[in-house]
Structure 1
């Protein structure tokens, strides 16, 4: 699975997961822009020492001008951008009762708005090339919830929604958009996971999944969970519709029908948001209730 001739941007690549991603992408032939708030040069030098090509960029993903400068730097150096790995992130963990509005806004700005700005900076380039691979870093905290991470979880689940729509908009341009939900021992997880788990959850055990998501064989609209060399997918599904109606006793009928409404045995994975309303209207019309 080679990436020769491809150009990749990896945000937050100065350490941890981003570093592991950048090193693996370079090892498989990609030219890599190593972005971080801290000095990215050690990672750049590690790539060059191993025979790869890399340049560094210092800047926050929340800084629109800095993000555009990063994309411009990649284009000026190599003339294309094929891969964007939105990896940069921060934590401000507290229970919701103790969390300040600033704690919430800062995390959303970095994870959601930062990823959006980086994606916006490369989107037209990828469409024009008829080739692009974008990965958003989501989290089990967003997919399933995690105590003390309402800000982080909200931002991470928002990235899934962004991925769902961009995968549809990018499809005809061969721009494939996916999410990676990693579990890894990084500076963000120290103090959260026990030492024996941290020893297994290396960043390097996640990056093979990332490589697949940016390869020629990449799917689109996938949520790939990864940790300790173990991989699984998460799916956003829609249960079978049940007609309750909108009469005066509809709330009580919803409650009575809840076992059927909440059953997932016949759930589907919709191809777009309009499929929900289409199924609702089809059931109403087929029952004759619309008249």
Structure 2
């Protein structure tokens, strides 16, 4: 059976996803509360996997908890912390647990986190991981020929940064991900519709990769400057920072900016991915202001 996300993408519909972060602890209640708040507004919820190299609950466990609560997850899987056998084991385990949507990532560098002395694994990177998922989906055992109980059916996507400083490098890497078996591409935060339009027309479009563009909720000018400083690849332009700084209510101005981006980006690509760190309850407000108010399920 196809997931709701896969059905929407393959039917050519507008696609909406959002991001939730597993807790920095063993209590998932806040994450589940935020997921319930988004019920009916998005096709699926992405669960981050050690984002920014910070300890959080297992993304695989969090995805199963979301499924149990009636929410479709997108499991983000990073190569940084697992060797090849661990990745293969988790992929098989995810399939057994009913998790089908998957976003393959290399993972943020350890220096970005709060335990920089930890040693990364990085035996595989995201292209190799996508290739491994494709092999499992074809029923291939990495050592013994064929999986004894048949093929998996994981719906695999990849990530990309349209603001990458190397356009040719971005093109080559996206081509490799598509060739490896990626079925969709989800971008990091996009702050310029012209950049997204170029990414769609020159890179993703020719590869027939549906694009879900990242929309990031900015909370204040100070917040935007902090993100530019510490988040790899962040590129929030000065005019948006100044707009937040001038606003009488910066938090609501951030919602307005995100809603404008949703409207702009839906005219360019297949869908949007909403990121509102520790403010997931504002995502429905963003969608309302963008004119996306009907239930999707």
TM-score category, normalised to shorter length: 0.3 to 0.5
Task: Flag the structure with more relative contact order, 1 or 2, with Cα contacts below 8 A and sequence separation at least 6.
Answer: 2
**Larger-gyration structure (1/2):** 1
TM-score, normalised by the number of residues in structure 2 = 0.36
